[in-house]
Amino acid sequence: MKTTIGSVLFALFLLAVIPRAPWAESDAEASENRGREYLTLIGCLQKGRAADQYLVMGEDGSTWELEGNSRKFAAHVGQSVKIAGPVVGGRGLARDGAADGNLHVAKLKKVSGTCP
């Protein structure tokens, strides 16, 4: 019985002292993103034409303009990345080099140091 109570108290202690994961959405972001399409995509992260514009060219040929931490995006330019987040712009994508789909990046992970 002592072991069970001790285990429960230890688990509660850990939940109280461990901070939220840095990539986790805030409560305000989660509320704002409720009901939106959530997309996970692997592709090549590229710099856009504007100063803080970043794009991902998906393996499926799609293009997505990224919203979020531009410093984090800058560190991954020219790399293959896996991104995930809610769609915040249009869903259809233009094939003329301009993205008309926007993605608010909640998670970003390097897949490869270079793009295929």
Question: Which pLDDT value is given to residue 11?
Answer: 57
Rounded Cα distance between 60 and 101, Å, is 14
* pLDDT bracket for residue 82 (50, 70, 90): very high
Quickly name the fold that domain 35-112 has. Answer: OB fold (Dihydrolipoamide Acetyltransferase, E2P) (2.40.50)
Write out pLDDT tens, residues 8-61.
Answer: 656 555 455 454 444 444 444 444 545 568 889 999 999 999 888 999 998 888
Domain coordinates in residue numbering, the chain: 35-112
Rounded Cα distance between 4 and 76, Å, is 46
